[in-house]
Chains A and B, each alone.
Chain A
Amino acid sequence: MTAAIAVGVLVAAGVFLILGRSLVRVAFGFILLGHAVNLLLMAAGGLGRRGVPILGPDGGPPPATADPLPQAFVLTSIVISFGTTVYLLGLARTQRRGDQPDDTGSRP
């Protein structure tokens, strides 16, 4: 339930920011949306479905383990969203530079 509420709040805030004109706000909106989806991925994990791939000291499954698959997913998705965030911020910087009236050098 906590996860559901957190995802809801993050998505609402993220969508609100994306609808703005400024690219910096859009970048922050996507950071929040990325967090929301990561939480969703973590909440989707569960161990009841199959055995764990990691073996404990006695060769059997260890006593307390989390589902490893969503963690791998989240790790991947964090790396991807980091890259896109850097790109969006770079784009925002380019756009701001282009808005200056004296800078026409970048136009083709």
Chain B
Amino acid sequence: MKGVFLVMSTVLTGLGIFSFGLISEAQAHVFPVHSEPKVGQVVNTSPFLVRIWFDGKLEPAFSTIEVHDLKGARVDKGDGRVGPEDRTLLKISLPSLPSGIYRVFWSVVSQDGHLTEGDFSFTIRVSQ
């Protein structure tokens, strides 16, 4: 019986290793790794950019980013873009913003067509 389990374990381990071998050139859903400002962060000065780094390369034509205030008004400069020096980076410029809570909406498509989207907030609390 132990022999049977040994054989099966060996075969399955081999399949697992084979599957990992497929991974190097594969693409998949992409998710954020980190951002500036950070998700939920309180910052003391208005940032010039919102940047989000993802765990895979993005398709520039189908990846978008917007920043809104609490009333839903769009406050960014409208120049959201991928990279171009880094295809995992999605960024957008901001004007000087007053204190408040802002929400970043992003929608990205990985190079193989998988769509992911999300949003997060950050707070500007300008020192007087």
Is B truly associated with A?
A: no
